[in-house]
Amino acid sequence: MAADGFRGWRLDVHVDFGARPLRLALETESAAVAIVGPSGAGKTTLLRVLAGVERRAKGSLVFDDEPWLDSSKGLAVPPWERGVGWVPQEASLFPHLSVAENLAYGGATEEAVGAKADLLEVAHLLERRPRRLSGGERQRVAVGRALLASPSLLLLDEPFSALDRPLRDKLAGKVRQWTTDVRVPLVLVSHDESDSGILADEHWHLADGVLERTK
């Protein structure tokens, strides 16, 4: 089900990988979409296309009725104008900054940082540097930083893969509730059916260069 006022997105691109080109075609009105599939199928490439950092992508992408990519017209909206919050599979935190400083990097207030730290249960880690965090803690900080950027679209690549199941499900539910409350659409790629079941309303499978809706 589409969020109030959200008009969905349409993707039809070709990504030139040489001997193994990839075509991605998807149209949805859902504000919460999960893409599942085997490793190497192109799930992360799809997120890169949405984020605007995949320079090999040719074709068209329309998000919420706004063209972000139209190769026939030479249009490619740059990443910084798309306002996407992207959490890659490897949490890329600034190693010289504390958790609090990483969360506040985009200009978030101290109050907002505290609220997101509480949401993701990292408030006790605010003074630590990334090297003193576990993999799951780094993932949570990366998610918090993306939420604090006030994104127009949230992209999640295996965001809680390093967490145990109870905490993973709990935080997935919290993030989903946040996106619903603030009406931010999301796209998740994951191998985990539980993650996709909690975070998404619409599910697609990507394999052998084919995207198919499953539910």
What digits encode the pLDDT tens for the residues 22-37? 999 999 999 999 999 8
User: Is the pLDDT at 192 greater than 70, yes or no?
Assistant: yes
User: Is the pLDDT at 208 greater than 90, yes or no?
Assistant: no
What digits encode the pLDDT tens for the residues 52-75? 999 999 999 999 999 999 999 999
**Cα separations (Å) of 177 from 29, 104, 198, 200?**
19, 22, 10, 11
- pLDDT for the residue 193: 86
DSSP state, residue 124: G
With beta carbons less than 8 A apart as the criterion, state whether 34 and 202 touch. yes
Work out the angle at residue 70's Cα, subtended by the Cα atoms of residues 69 and 71, and round it to the nearest 5 degrees. 110
User: Is the pLDDT at 1 greater than 50, yes or no?
Assistant: no
C-alpha to C-alpha distance for 1 and 90, rounded to whole angstroms: 30
- pLDDT for the residue 150: 93
User: Is the pLDDT at 3 greater than 60, yes or no?
Assistant: no
Phi, psi of 64, rounded to the nearest 5 degrees: 55, 45
Domains of the chain (ranges; CATH) run 9-213 (3.40.50.300)
What digits encode the pLDDT tens for the residues 152-182? 999 999 999 999 999 999 999 999 999 999 9
Burial of 97 (0-12, 13-18, 19+ CB in 10 A): middle
Q: Across-strand partners of 63?
A: 9, 66
Q: Identify which of 20, 11, 88, 9 has the alpha carbon closest to the alpha carbon of residue 48.
A: 88
What is the signed CA dihedral for 136, 137, 142, 146, rounded to 10 degrees?
100
What digits encode the pLDDT tens for the residues 96-148? 999 999 999 989 999 999 999 999 999 999 999 999 999 999 999 999 999 99
User: Is the pLDDT at 4 greater than 80, yes or no?
Assistant: no
With beta carbons less than 8 A apart as the criterion, state whether 153 and 187 touch. yes
